[in-house]
Amino acid sequence: MLNIEKKENGNEVTLVLDGRLDTTTAPSLEEEVKAVVGGAKKLVFDLKELQYISSAGLRVLLSAQKTMNKQGSMLVKNVSDDVNEIFEVTGFSDILTIE
């Protein structure tokens, strides 16, 4: 299960993810990202409560990064050690801006 909380501040959108981002939940995140990136100059993913991310979840983040590269910036923050390890093993730590 994945809960997605959206916070908008001008042209900055933050998506707070809580739960597991996997093949079951990635489509709902993908829809949410598509809905918010239109006018966003900055997209922030707050992963403080994210327990797990699968390849399907990584694909959604990569797609969002490609979109935001054209129109602004994307930031991933509050990454847990477990999720950060997945980012490092997959090379996503080199692709994403993580703080």
pLDDT tens string 4-27: 999 999 999 999 999 999 999 999
Q: Work out the number of other CB atoms within 10 angstroms of the CB of residue 34.
A: 13
The CATH architecture that domain 2-95 belongs to is 2-Layer Sandwich (3.30)
The pLDDT tens digits of the residues spanning 20-78 come to 999 999 999 999 999 999 889 999 999 999 999 999 999 999 999 999 999 999 999 99
Residues linked to residue 13 through DSSP beta bridges, in sequence order: 8, 43
Q: What is the pLDDT of residue 39?
A: 84
Instruction: Provide the edge-to-edge strand list for the sheet that holds 2-9.
Output: 2-9, 12-21, 42-53, 73-77
Q: What is the pLDDT of residue 48?
A: 97
- Better-predicted residue by pLDDT, 1 or 39: 1
Q: What is the pLDDT of residue 49?
A: 97
Q: What is the pLDDT of residue 65?
A: 97
Model's pTM, two decimal places? Answer: 0.96
- The residue ranges of every structural domain in the chain are 2-95
